[in-house]
Amino acid sequence: MKKILSLTIFIVSAFSLFGQNEFDSLLKVLDKTINLRPQYTEEKELHIGNLKKQLFYASTDEQKYEILGQLFDQYKGYQMDSALNITNQRLTTAERQGIKKNISVAQMNLSEIMGMTGMYKEALDILEKQDRKAFDREQLLYYYHLYHSIYVLMTNYSISENEKIHYEKLTYQYKDSILQIIPSDDIGYAMVKSNQLLAIGNYEQALDIASKC
């Protein structure tokens, strides 16, 4: 469902950027994606079922922590109640392990779920308590990604123009933070950079970079 929604938003945004033939082609892609939704759902449920079996037979907290992380990835944006439950299990497992890195990642998983469900203050409170100086590159990228995602949502749902401008600036700043730690030849760099260029109205360069993804 999340993939279908993302594609829909992209196609609506693309209406002013493409000609009619290209736009018609994009609509055909959307139709095909919607038609395949039952297949996607069936495959996801099968994968989730297999992960739950692995979790049941896991004998160590290390194994449980990793499997719970995979379940979190499957559930977020799909079944939020289940994602929250899995996140709490992962955090409990990490705390039982006593591994600082695992605790931080699990806490950021919780922040992600809260952000996705509109609990922006709670999500930001969790991030503000993190010790980013202790993060490795992967953790730091996740940390910046969460701030960016939350501020994007806060921008979209801002009531006043001043709030909207404020959150747009913060969103742009976190795009910069992300770009500073992603290798320039990484596909993620191109995606963030093109999005940043779109935000300032540089459509031609943004499309040029996006076309190389």
The helix-helix angle for 100-116 and 61-75 (nearest 10°) equals 20
Give the pLDDT of residue 84. 97
Sign of CA dihedral 67, 68, 73, 79: positive
76-91 average pLDDT score: 95
Q: Pick the more confident residue, 210 or 99.
A: 99
Q: Is 30 exposed, middle or buried (0-12, 13-18, 19+ CB in 10 A)?
A: middle
- Contact (CB, 8 A) for 213 and 192: no
- Contact (CB, 8 A) for 125 and 159: no
pLDDT at 128 over 80: yes
pLDDT at 120 over 50: yes
pLDDT digits (tens, 9 = 90+) for 32-57: 555 656 667 888 999 999 999 999 99
Give the pLDDT of residue 177. 94
Q: Pick the more confident residue, 13 or 128.
A: 128
143-148 average pLDDT score: 96
Instruction: Choose among 44, 10, 49, 1: nearest CA to 29.
Output: 10
